[in-house]
Amino acid sequence: MPRYTLRVRERFEAAHHLRSYQGSPEPVHGHSWQVEAVLRTTELDDEGMGFDFVAVKATLGDLTARFHHGDINATPPFDRITPTTEHLARWFYQEMQARLPGSGISEVTVWEGPDCSATYQEA
């Protein structure tokens, strides 16, 4: 059976710090973040699309806008949990699932720069 994989990305600039990096708080610093949502489907709609890129991109854009040009540590839920790339990937995944139910979101990858990323997917 054929399967389609769609990818949608958004970028944002934001600062963060780890609350206990190797035993002490890390200095506040910024990254050029990138978030990629991966959707999978075996079906296409009547127009030949697996998912509407416009709707997915708008949802991802709404989520990244919360952090753009800000301090992630000051934005819930990261005012309570350390904003590691792994935690951000899980948060984006869960938010995308909640906002686009049945959309086939299979994973979310967050980059905190061009070379380092974390991917979250549920088993």
Q: Mean pLDDT for each consecutive 10-residue tract of the chain (123 residues)?
A: 92 94 86 97 93 95 98 97 97 96 92 96 89
The pLDDT, as a whole number, for residue 102 is 83
The pLDDT, as a whole number, for residue 62 is 98
The pLDDT, as a whole number, for residue 64 is 98
Rounded CA gap, 16 and 72, in Å? 5
CATH superfamily of the domain spanning 4-120: 6-pyruvoyl tetrahydropterin synthase/QueD (3.30.479.10)
The pLDDT, as a whole number, for residue 103 is 82
The pLDDT, as a whole number, for residue 6 is 96
- The pTM assigned to this predicted structure is 0.93
- Tell me the domain boundaries of the chain: 4-120
Rounded CA gap, 29 and 1, in Å? 46
CA distances (Å), 55 to each of 32, 90, 94, in order? 24, 20, 16
The pLDDT, as a whole number, for residue 20 is 80
Residue 29 has a CB neighbour count (10 Å cut-off) of 10
Rounded CA gap, 33 and 22, in Å? 23
